[in-house]
């Protein structure tokens, strides 16, 4: 399950990039929090550097970790808001769901509702991802 969730983090970053093509290069601080069946899971925070070349090469669109494959569909954008459906597959199982959010050139906020199959007893869960540019790459 951890691998498929990591792959989905990259899929969510791709949604930011597709919704806002003018993503500014630099160091981005991102965070993720998950709720399932009334429980709040510990959040995670990390930094990632996107260079101008990374963005030009489309590396911000990476949607898999080499172990899982994710696809997005029904991508809709209106101004700074976006929504999409997704499906991820891995040897550990499948995940599908919908996401909606908003972005600017220097920030994003995405709420993702998803379900694993086989269900492993978690039911539907929600992940909230946020990110903002914090400076130049070092």
Contact 54, 25 (CB under 8 A): yes
8 Å CB contact between 99 and 15: yes
SS3 state at 8: helix
pLDDT at res. 50? 85
How far apart CA 27 and CA 85 sit, in angstroms, is: 27
Number of domains in the chain: 1
Residues 110, 89: Cα–Cα separation, whole Å? 21
30: CB partners within 8 A, 6+ apart: 13, 45, 46, 47, 48, 129, 130, 131
Write down the pTM of the prediction: 0.75
| Mean pLDDT to the nearest integer, 68-78 | 85
| 20 pLDDT more than 50 | no
Of 54-58, 91-95, 97-101, 114-118, the poorest mean pLDDT is in 54-58
- 72, two tokens: 């997005």
The per-residue pLDDT for 72 is 83
Residue 7 has pLDDT above 70, yes or no: no
* Residue 66 belongs to domain spanning: 2-135
**C-alpha to C-alpha distance for 63 and 7, rounded to whole angstroms:** 6
């Amino acid at each position: 399950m951890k691998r498929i969730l990591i792959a989905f983090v990259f899929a969510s970053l791709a949604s930011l990039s597709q919704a806002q093509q003018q993503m500014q290069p630099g160091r981005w601080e991102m965070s993720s929090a998950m709720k399932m069946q009334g429980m709040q899971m510990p959040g995670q925070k990390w930094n990632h550097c996107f260079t101008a070349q990374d963005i030009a090469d489309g590396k911000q669109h990476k949607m898999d970790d080499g172990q899982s494959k994710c696809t997005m569909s029904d991508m809709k954008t209106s101004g700074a808001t976006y929504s999409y459906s997704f499906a991820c597959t891995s040897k550990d199982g499948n995940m599908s769901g919908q996401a909606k959010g908003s972005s600017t050139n220097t920030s994003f906020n995405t709420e993702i509702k998803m379900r694993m199959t086989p269900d492993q007893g978690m039911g539907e869960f929600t992940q909230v991802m946020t990110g903002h540019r914090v400076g130049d790459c070092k």
